[in-house]
Amino acid sequence: MTQGTDIDIVSGAEIEIPLNKLKKSPRNARKTPHSAEAVEALAASIAAKKMLQKPVVEPERDDGGAMTGFWLVTIGEGRRLALELLARRKTIKNSHPVACMIDVEHDPQEISLDENVTRSAMHPADQFEAFRDLHERKGYGAEEIAARFGVSPGLVRQRLRLANLSPRLIDLYRAEDLGLDQLMAFAVTDDRARQEQVYEQLSYNRSPAYIRAALTTAKVAASDRRAQFVGAEAYVEAGGTLTRDLFTDDRGGWLDDVALLDALVMQKLAALAEELRADEGWKWGEAHLDYPTGHGFARVYPHQVERSAEDAAQIEALSAEYDGLVERFADLDELPPDAEARLKEIDTALEAFGEPYAYDVDEIARGGLFVMLGHDGQARIERGFIRPADAAPPPESEEDALGDDGETIYDPPSDELDQDEDDGEGAPLPDRLIAELTAYRTASLRDALAEHPDVAQIALLHALVLATFFPGSGATCLDVRLTSRGLEAEAPQIDDGPAARRIAARHETWARQMPQDAALVWAFVLDLDSDSRASLLAHCVALTADAVRGWRGRALALRHADALAASVGLSMTGDWRADARRYLGRVTKAQIVQAVREAAGSEAAERLAGLRKPELIEAAEPLVLEAGWLPILLRACEASGEPQTAPDLAA
């Protein structure tokens, strides 16, 4: 090779030229500059394998035609830029000799254009398989291959995953019967037989989303509450495998072994149930995936701990001091050190008195607890359940006086039964007369109660409290019945939803304040202030509301439910979301488009209308969620109390 003089400037001759003597030709047909990624890839290739193709050059000449000593790169500008990148990184010198080929015979712009136009790019499938060959034959890992070709390791892993697809699918891709997006969707699993099975089942819907869903239908998403509870690391340590999608945001992928995952969930729940049982002293502890509705157990709640007068006074004083300090410095971003220290001292002193509410020792000895999996992937613990066999016997003071239904039993001594009707003042009254006299008394009581609305309200509240917290006690003379329809059959896991959790918390708050004996409830209700009575009455009445549609014959009841909802300003926005699981995946395409139209406008709806259903659901979900959209059955009624027109689902 020569360095180049006027004597040896011959087309086809090879020449070594120092890198710093090469320039971009002004007649290069490529005007759009090479991307940084492309230059990076060329630099990596040259560093690993040297330059595989020589640049084509011509000498630079001044206005007089004399050579300037520089050479113009007609073909190979990308390689020149890659070499300059290596020089800047000190991998090579600025004067690094570059093997080039001279061409002064052809038009520089034409041959530059020719190189870019007439070449045929490698088919992507050939690249996939070539990467796999390097991986299998030479043992190169993704990082090594990436370094040698100037691409990211993630890209190489994607290519290797695609190369591992069923050869039949690769052939279909080469024949353009499958697109790259579809091919990437099939790569969500390494099971070639399953890939081909899903391909055979494809009909008109061949979307990537549908393919992914079909291939992962028997798996559990990492976002599932069971996966969150166990944790991917623990699942893998137990021998489970994960499916990851290298081509989309898979949110942690999918857990393949559902049976193993369920076993791990129950093991962890059972271990927690046993730990709590042992630590707290309960008779039993059970683990369940969901709340075991229909268990038939009675339930008790913690009661207020009896305090001595001295302890109660100290607690009241400490609490008042705490509230006073908080109020005093409420406007400050940070508490003064002495105030913060005193608050901590008060916290410690109050904690020393123990919890203000606790279960009775006897209740703990007879009762148990459930440990379940909440919707958020956290354990949910419910305590205080009493099995029928462990129920406490009725109090001795009432055992002889009351029957099974709570009514007084008139059981005169046996010697009185043998007396004649006119045996004196001690003889018992005839049952028929007793019933007649008390009937008159009942009529008078009804009349008097109607004249005293405040007492009637208290009596009603007393009856509802007994039905709610002491079912079957028979401790009221009012024939008022309370029923609360279970909603789990219509909406599984509803008891773990926001509204149900708030109801349960409110119920427990009241249950803690209830006396333990049903006979003391009347005095408890009487002792409440008017606001507390109203709040307790609202809680008990609310549990009886039933606005479920599903059968005929409830038109008036449902109309009342709508009016009641309007009266209380019911809003479902925070209690229900129109996501894919609850709504979008269970309605028609037209209904999804209509939801988008109402949530985001007609333009958005028209833009999505042509999508296949899986893509439509995926695109619609964020729009309706962001808008807080609700179907008409869940929307607020008009302020007038008139319900909005809603379809009769039972029709």
**476 with 575, same domain?**
no
Residue 489 lies in a domain: yes
Are the C-beta atoms of residues 156 and 52 closer than 8 Å to each other? Answer: no
Helix H or strand E encompassing 133: helix 124-137
Q: What is the pLDDT of residues 159-207, one digit of tens each?
A: 888 888 999 998 898 888 888 888 888 988 888 888 888 888 887 678 8
pLDDT at 645: 44
Residue 244 lies in a domain: no
d(CA 478, CA 462): 9
pLDDT at 643: 44
**435 with 333, same domain?**
no
pLDDT at 292: 85
**281 with 365, same domain?**
yes
pLDDT at 419: 46
Residue 84 lies in a domain: yes
**53 with 113, same domain?**
yes
**496 with 590, same domain?**
no
Mean pLDDT of the chain: 84
Answer with the one of 59, 86, 117 that is the final residue of a domain: 117
pLDDT at 552: 61
| 3 band by pLDDT with thresholds 50, 70 and 90 | low
Count how many domains the chain has.
4
Are the C-beta atoms of residues 624 and 557 closer than 8 Å to each other? Answer: no
d(CA 292, CA 298): 13
d(CA 476, CA 470): 11
| 68 band by pLDDT with thresholds 50, 70 and 90 | very high
Q: What is the pLDDT of residues 437-456, one digit of tens each?
A: 777 787 787 778 788 888 88
**487 with 578, same domain?**
no
The better pLDDT of the pair 286, 483 is held by 286
Are the C-beta atoms of residues 198 and 169 closer than 8 Å to each other? Answer: no
**411 with 531, same domain?**
yes
- Judged against a pLDDT cut of 80, whether residue 595 lies above it is answered with yes
SS3 label, residue 373: strand
CATH number for 36: 3.90.1530.30
Q: DSSP label at 163? A: H
| 405 band by pLDDT with thresholds 50, 70 and 90 | very low
Q: What is the pLDDT of residues 31-67, one digit of tens each?
A: 788 888 889 888 988 888 888 888 999 999 988 888 9
Cα 408 to Cα 42, 401, 402, distances in angstroms: 99, 6, 5
Q: What is the pLDDT of residues 203-221, one digit of tens each?
A: 767 888 888 888 887 888 8
Residues above pLDDT 90, as percent of the chain: 27
Residue 626 lies in a domain: yes
Instruction: Over range 540-552, report the average pLDDT.
Output: 82
- Judged against a pLDDT cut of 90, whether residue 11 lies above it is answered with no
Pairing of strands 97-102, 357-358: unpaired
Q: pTM value?
A: 0.59
Residue 595 lies in a domain: yes
Range of the domain at 18: 14-117
Residue 429 lies in a domain: yes
Cβ burial, residue 113 (10 Å; 0-12/13-18/19+): middle
| 407 band by pLDDT with thresholds 50, 70 and 90 | very low
Sequence-distant (≥ 6) Cβ neighbours of residue 28 within 8 angstroms: 73, 74, 77, 108, 109, 112
- Judged against a pLDDT cut of 50, whether residue 647 lies above it is answered with no
Answer with the one of 517, 542, 567 that is the final residue of a domain: 542
| 394 band by pLDDT with thresholds 50, 70 and 90 | low
- Judged against a pLDDT cut of 60, whether residue 264 lies above it is answered with yes
Instruction: Over range 392-405, report the average pLDDT.
Output: 53
Cα 18 to Cα 69, 77, 78, 96, 427, distances in angstroms: 10, 15, 16, 5, 134
**411 with 534, same domain?**
yes
- Judged against a pLDDT cut of 50, whether residue 413 lies above it is answered with no
| 391 band by pLDDT with thresholds 50, 70 and 90 | confident
**537 with 627, same domain?**
no
pLDDT at 296: 82
- Judged against a pLDDT cut of 70, whether residue 555 lies above it is answered with yes
- Judged against a pLDDT cut of 50, whether residue 550 lies above it is answered with yes
Residue type, 152: S
**465 with 365, same domain?**
no
pLDDT at 277: 95
Q: What is the pLDDT of residues 75-132, one digit of tens each?
A: 899 999 999 999 999 999 999 999 999 998 888 888 888 776 766 667 888 878 888 8
Are the C-beta atoms of residues 449 and 456 closer than 8 Å to each other? Answer: yes
Answer with the one of 67, 99, 117 that is the final residue of a domain: 117
Instruction: Over range 8-30, report the average pLDDT.
Output: 88
Cβ burial, residue 619 (10 Å; 0-12/13-18/19+): middle
| 401 band by pLDDT with thresholds 50, 70 and 90 | very low
**416 with 506, same domain?**
yes
Residue 175 lies in a domain: no
Cβ burial, residue 503 (10 Å; 0-12/13-18/19+): middle
Residue 35 lies in a domain: yes
- Judged against a pLDDT cut of 90, whether residue 237 lies above it is answered with yes
pLDDT at 288: 93
**59 with 101, same domain?**
yes
